[in-house]
Amino acid sequence: MPFARILSLALAALALTGCEDVIVVDLDDGLPPRVVVEGGVVHSATVQTVRLTTTSDYFAGAEPPPVQGATVTISDDLGTRVSLVEATPGLYRTEALATSIGRTYTLDIEADGVRYRATETLREVAEIDSLYLIFQEGQGPDAEDGFRVRLDFRDPAGAGDGYRWQTFVDGDSRLPEQVRRIPTLISDDDLFDGQTVTGYSPNPEVAFQPGETVVVRQSSATPQALAFFDLLLQQAAGSPGAFDVPPADIRGNVGNLSDLSRPAYGYFWVRDEFEVTITVP
Amino acid sequence: MSLRSLLVLALASLAVPASAQVSGTVRDGDTDEPLIGATVSTAVDGRLLGAATDLDGAFQFDLPDGEHTLTVRFVGYRTDSLLVTAPSSDIEIGLEPDTEAIGEIVVQGDEIDRVDDVEMGVSRIDAADIQRLPLVLGEADPVRALQLLPGVSQGSESSSGFFVRGGGADQNLVLLDGTPLHNPSHVFGFFSVFNPDVVSSATLYKGGLPSRYGGRLSSVLEVDQRTGETDRVRGRGGIGLLSSRGVLDGPLPGGAGTFLVGARRSYADAFLALSPDSSLNQNIAYFYDLNGRTDLRLNDRNRITLSGYSGRDRLRIGDTFGTRWGNTAGSARWTRTTDRLATSVGVSTSDYTFTLEVLEETQTFDWTSNIRSDQFEASAIYDIDPGGSRSPIEVGFVGTQYSVNPGTVDPGEGGFLLPLQLSEQTGTEAAVFFGGERAVTDRLSIRLGNRLSGFVRTGPSTVYLYEDDAPVVYDALTGRYEPGTVVDSTTYNSGDRIASFGGLEPRVAVRYRLADRTSLKLGFERTRQNLQLVTNSTSPTPLDVWELAGEYVEAQTANQIAIGGAHRFGSGTGAVELSVEAYARSLDGLVDYVDGADLTLNDRLETELLPGEGRAYGVEMLLEKTAGRFSGFGSYTWSRSERRVAGLGLGDPGINNGEWYPAPQDRPHNLSLTGVYQLSPRLSLSGNFVLTSGSPTTYPVARYTYEGAVVAEYGERNAARLPLYHRLDVAAAWQVGRGELVMSVYNLYNRKNASSVTFRQSEVDPLQTEAIRTSIFGIVPGIAYNLSF
């Protein structure tokens, strides 16, 4: 129930704003690197990309090392298989994959003699019927006045639909890119299965200002993807605080066929997307 | 005088060459009620002779002919001395309640108890002392005070949840006048629900559990409200920075008995409203407590006690969301006392409800959860050996009905959300018990007890059935624990049995006195627990929901063995007592959650947890000085609390590959020093110093990047530890008129104690990562004025 959890976490955060400072911590690092998979299949997209990197020491402070020279293929459950080509170091792409809703896609990677595999089914996402802006005063500490994005959509009947919303602002330099992009929400449809959802606020914490162009993307997510993004978003929001789930590795869906004890990190995300752009007047 | 006072001290009176008998009665000086278990003693040629009072407050023992000074002691009363000439009979002694004693830290009743008492692991704090300790924001709090004692540690600075001997916060049975409270905290745990003006004493059993108590593994915290004054109506109150409180108590008309009413309210929101900042002045934040108790005296032999409590927390952030939560509890108890028999019958009910209101326009909803317990108890104390060495025997029955609503989501008008109701839970717990104590020789004393308890989880309920009977499955390829596949479900009607648990809970305590000043003690006990708090966060929160044992969650069992000793050094005002106890405890039926488990509004919790076991062991030392101008105590505990979760046995790693790992409440070192110095009759100074190992946590070992966000790869669960926790608090108390002004400074040297250390991406340079320490309280001055009239 990630939707309600986000709210309860926000509540706890407001109630307990302690004093924060940066400290030096000694970590048990120096571990052998692991492969990280980012990317996946976007329905009807011209280009499909998969980025392969590795882990590094926690305080490394550098771009993640790319995995170069890997063999990367995506196949579907009809036997179609395409190879991805390394365009820039660690970034593998193809324009040859035709996708359709309901197909299951498998990612195969062979990097430095180790084979990895991930499988996920493409689900359809509801369209955004309308997207609009509402001015709100910030409520609670650190909240900004500004325009909040609201949207309407119809959830299809039948439980098990999952959503992820991402909000992008063009030309906005107030925040570093990942901080701007990551505080997006996810939800399953447990509490609104089959309903016409109106006035949904996908990102209540971010206020937009006049002149900004906002892109809201609504994507489908399987229960496994929701679980992955739920934990990812919690970490990006600065978890774990005193009320948070104890920290643990975020398990993705990419297994290691050569050594089961060392699955890859990241997620092979197969999804349908619907995007709407709006400019704050 | 409640029936709990089976605190019978078997003193070495039997083997003394008898010359002359002294006998009499010890009563409450105010109410004239007999005090059961008060000690009357005197020293003869370096030996302590004496007896404990029986059910009628009567005592008798033999002394050499001649003059003796008898010392009479009882917990919560001023110690009294009187000169008698043996033989002597019908000695009437009235003890004055110790509610206004100054400057004493009475951790345990007095110096006799440690050496001569059969009980192990019992700590008491008296109400008068609780208010004199320097505490956060100047708010006196019995639970905070108990955290200074050996074997007790604090959940976190933002939590009044406490851990006893490595047990979880949900393994403490917290009783208010005998009624269990399910979440005894305010403000996310900063304060306990106990108004210090209402409390007469707080007793914590961390071992040596009397057989009448059960249902929790680690400890019993027994908080009693005061009985009202019998002579006239009196009031007391306090004004502090955070809250104010007032209590009124006195006799009922016509000598029918006494009453007590009390109230406390915080006013943080009053300050918020003064803020010009609209993001703050629209907010609501307060808590309140209402207490009441009446003791009705029907006649000399029959009494009825009615007790009630209600408290709420309220928090609302503008138009976004709000919460309210709190306990409501009440009890009625009838006590009948005859010459050799005291019987008691009581009923009680207790409810804890949590509500979260989300006010976001079309997404408005109320989320409510609650637990309610209804209890019936009947017990009898029979004096099998009046005036002899065998103490009264207690037998009894306790039945408890639990009903839990893990969650209801009630959407507001005009929104798109659907209502949701999680499966409600019902269970019945029943226990019969007996207990008694016997002095075998003048040196050896044994207390025996046993408890037979059973728990039945019943419908109405829907139990899900999983493929291969596996609610949790392990995906070996991705290394993820996943919810099992539901293949069917069983619907149980009201009263249908779903699962049952039960067994014996033996309790044994032995005391052997090596010399007058030294004793050795040995104890064993088993405890069972049929419900647990579903919490996956670092410390307990108001949102946590109780889960009853059932089809997939086992009842828990703990076995504890303890050995200890006590020795008294010096005498008079210089006397110092040292006690040491070592314990080891094993726990079965524990569960821990899979990595990243999502417990919120989850109707199938069994898919998120793995079975495990636990162990805890440690050594506790307490040095205390109770008499003289300087009094205080120092305690040091070395202890460990660990868990092991082996997994499903399908090649899966469990937690930390099935190795023992530190439980969240593991605190290897725990030191506290507390002292009070009586500078003058009107002025006392006090201070306490606390030093504790940081709580276990999990730190990153590496990092990677996903969508531009830096994500941590973590090491073993709980393999790291937060920095050492320590602080010094000081306070001064002045008698001013009829009141007392208490000024305090919490965390005098402004130590930034970490309540958590988190890791995040730098906002300045997204490639950089940093460790963030969050600390709740820096230096906090406090002032409070306490008044009684």
For residues B114 and B564, give the distance between their C-alpha atoms in angstroms, rounded to a whole number: 10
Query: What is the predicted ipTM?
Result: 0.90
**Contact assignment for A181 to B708 by CB distance below 8 Å:** yes
For residues B145 and B767, give the distance between their C-alpha atoms in angstroms, rounded to a whole number: 46
Please classify residue B576 by burial: count the beta carbons closer than 10 Å to its beta carbon, then call 0-12 exposed, 13-18 middle and 19+ buried. Answer: middle
Nearest-by-Cβ selection for B709 from A182, A191, A261: A182
pLDDT tens figures, B97-129: 654 322 222 333 233 344 555 556 666 666 666
Nearest-by-Cβ selection for B713 from A7, A55, A227: A55
* pLDDT classification of B337: cutoffs 50, 70, 90: confident
Task: Give the pLDDT of residue B449.
Answer: 93
Q: Cα dist. B147→B125, B165, B224, B330, B729 in Å? A: 11, 12, 18, 27, 14
Average pLDDT, integer, range B45-74? 78
For residues B184 and B439, give the distance between their C-alpha atoms in angstroms, rounded to a whole number: 38
Paired tokens of B687: 């201070």
* pLDDT classification of B89: cutoffs 50, 70, 90: confident
Burial call B252-272: b when 16+ CB within 10 Å, e when fewer: eeeeebbbbbbbbebbbbeeb
CA distance B269 to chain A (A): 13
Residues 6+ apart with CB under 8 A from B469: none
Query: Of B437, B431, B572, B447, which Cα lies nearest the Cα of B505?
Result: B431
Average pLDDT, integer, range A45-51? 95
Nearest-by-Cβ selection for A263 from B358, B478, B723: B478
Closest residue of chain A to B755, computed from CA coordinates = A242
pLDDT tens figures, B233-276: 999 888 888 889 999 999 998 888 999 999 999 887 766 666 66
Query: Of B464, B488, B484, B487, which Cα lies nearest the Cα of B472?
Result: B484
Paired tokens of B354: 């949590």
Helix axes A223-236, A2-15, angle to 10 degrees: 10
Q: Which amino acid is at B107?
A: V
For the ranges A45-59, A208-222, B112-126, the maximum mean pLDDT occurs at A45-59
CA A204 to chain centre: 17
Residue labelled with tokens 């997939």: B552
Percent of chain A at pLDDT exceeding 70 = 82
Query: Of B133, B53, B142, which Cα lies nearest the Cα of B93?
Result: B53
For the ranges A107-111, B43-47, B294-298, which has the lowest average pLDDT? B43-47
Greater confidence, B485 or B77?
B485
For the ranges A205-214, B6-15, B484-493, B585-594, which has the lowest average pLDDT? B6-15
CB-CB neighbors (< 8 A) of B765 in chain A: 61
CA distance B237 to chain A (A): 28
Interface check B412 vs A, CB under 8 A: no
* pLDDT classification of B130: cutoffs 50, 70, 90: low
DSSP for B279-320 reads HHHT-EEEEEEEEEEEEEE-SSSEEEEEEEEEEEEEEEETTT
**Contact assignment for A255 to B477 by CB distance below 8 Å:** yes
Nearest-by-Cβ selection for B763 from A56, A179, A242: A179
**Contact assignment for B321 to A38 by CB distance below 8 Å:** no
Percent of chain B at pLDDT exceeding 90 = 38
Task: Give the pLDDT of residue B18.
Answer: 42
pLDDT tens figures, B572-599: 777 888 889 999 999 999 988 888 787 7
CB-CB neighbors (< 8 A) of B324 in chain A: none
Residue pair B539/B158 in contact (Cβ under 8 Å)? The answer is yes
Nearest-by-Cβ selection for A60 from B360, B596, B703: B703
For the ranges A58-62, B194-198, B338-342, B558-562, which has the lowest average pLDDT? B338-342
Task: Give the pLDDT of residue B741.
Answer: 87
DSSP assignment, residue B97?
Answer: B
Among B160, B269, B416, which would you mutate to test the A interface (most chain A Cβ atoms within 10 Å of its Cβ)?
Answer: B416
Paired tokens of A253: 């869906």
Among A17, A243, A244, A257, which would you mutate to test the B interface (most chain B Cβ atoms within 10 Å of its Cβ)?
Answer: A243
Paired tokens of B650: 């399908």
For the ranges A145-154, A258-267, B140-149, B276-285, the maximum mean pLDDT occurs at A258-267
Tell me phi and psi for residue B444, to 5 degrees: -110, 130
Residue B613: how many other CB atoms lie within 10 Å:
16
Average pLDDT, integer, range B309-318? 88
Chain B 183-202, CB below 8 Å of chain A: which residues?
A: 187-188
For residues B397 and A13, give the distance between their C-alpha atoms in angstroms, rounded to a whole number: 45
pLDDT tens figures, B633-681: 899 999 999 999 998 888 899 999 999 999 988 999 999 998 888 898 8
pLDDT tens figures, B751-760: 999 888 888 8
Residue pair B208/B523 in contact (Cβ under 8 Å)? The answer is yes
pLDDT tens figures, B604-639: 889 998 999 999 999 999 998 877 788 888 999 999
Among B185, B316, B365, B478, which would you mutate to test the A interface (most chain A Cβ atoms within 10 Å of its Cβ)?
Answer: B478
Instruction: Sort strands B780-788 and B234-240 into parallel, antiparallel or unpaired.
Output: antiparallel
Cα atoms in the 13 Å half-sphere on the side-chain side of B755: 25
Greater confidence, A140 or B454?
B454
Average pLDDT, integer, range B162-182? 92
Interface check B478 vs A, CB under 8 A: yes
Greater confidence, A186 or B336?
B336
Asked if pLDDT for residue A114 goes beyond 50, the answer is yes
Q: H or E segment at A180?
A: helix A177-181
For the ranges B194-203, B207-216, B556-565, B673-682, the maximum mean pLDDT occurs at B556-565
Paired tokens of B542: 């108001």
What average pLDDT does the structure give for chain B?
Answer: 84
Closest residue of chain B to A154, computed from CA coordinates = B416
Residue labelled with tokens 């019927």: A129
Q: Cα dist. A9→A229, A241, A244, A255, B748 in Å? A: 15, 9, 7, 31, 32
For residues B183 and B375, give the distance between their C-alpha atoms in angstroms, rounded to a whole number: 17
Taking the CA atoms of B673, B674, B678 and B684 in sequence, report the sign of the dihedral they define.
positive
* pLDDT classification of B196: cutoffs 50, 70, 90: confident
* pLDDT classification of B279: cutoffs 50, 70, 90: low
pLDDT tens figures, A135-144: 877 655 456 7
CB-CB neighbors (< 8 A) of B698 in chain A: 246-248
Chain B 122-181, CB below 8 Å of chain A: which residues?
A: 156, 158-159
For B359-460, list the strands marked E by DSSP. 365-382, 393-411, 420-421, 425-439, 444-458
Residue pair B225/B198 in contact (Cβ under 8 Å)? The answer is yes
* pLDDT classification of B782: cutoffs 50, 70, 90: confident
C-alpha Rg value of chain A to the nearest Å: 20
CA distance B766 to chain A (A): 7
**Contact assignment for B416 to A196 by CB distance below 8 Å:** yes
Instruction: Sort strands B66-73 and B472-475 into parallel, antiparallel or unpaired.
Output: unpaired
Task: Give the pLDDT of residue B277.
Answer: 60
Task: Give the pLDDT of residue B4.
Answer: 25
Asked if pLDDT for residue A4 goes beyond 80, the answer is no
DSSP for B475-538 reads ETTTTEEEEPPEEEEEEEPBT-EEEEEEEE--EEEEEEEEETTEEEEEEEEEEEE-EEEE--SS
Average pLDDT, integer, range B449-460? 95
Average pLDDT, integer, range A188-212? 82
Residues 6+ apart with CB under 8 A from A226: A2, A162, A164, A186, A187, A188
Instruction: Sort strands A213-220 and A273-279 into parallel, antiparallel or unpaired.
Output: antiparallel
* pLDDT classification of B330: cutoffs 50, 70, 90: very high
For residues B217 and B588, give the distance between their C-alpha atoms in angstroms, rounded to a whole number: 10
Task: Give the pLDDT of residue A84.
Answer: 97
**Contact assignment for A38 to B705 by CB distance below 8 Å:** yes
Q: H or E segment at A228?
A: helix A223-236
pLDDT tens figures, B465-484: 999 999 999 999 888 898 99
Residue pair A31/B783 in contact (Cβ under 8 Å)? The answer is no
CA distance B593 to chain A (A): 10
Residues 6+ apart with CB under 8 A from B380: B341, B342, B343, B344, B394, B395, B396
Asked if pLDDT for residue B745 goes beyond 50, the answer is yes
For residues A149 and A203, give the distance between their C-alpha atoms in angstroms, rounded to a whole number: 7
**Contact assignment for B766 to A267 by CB distance below 8 Å:** no
Greater confidence, B190 or B226?
B226
Task: Give the pLDDT of residue B746.
Answer: 87
Residue pair B180/B309 in contact (Cβ under 8 Å)? The answer is no
Query: Of A170, A191, A121, which Cα lies nearest the Cα of A275?
Result: A170
Paired tokens of B296: 């009705």
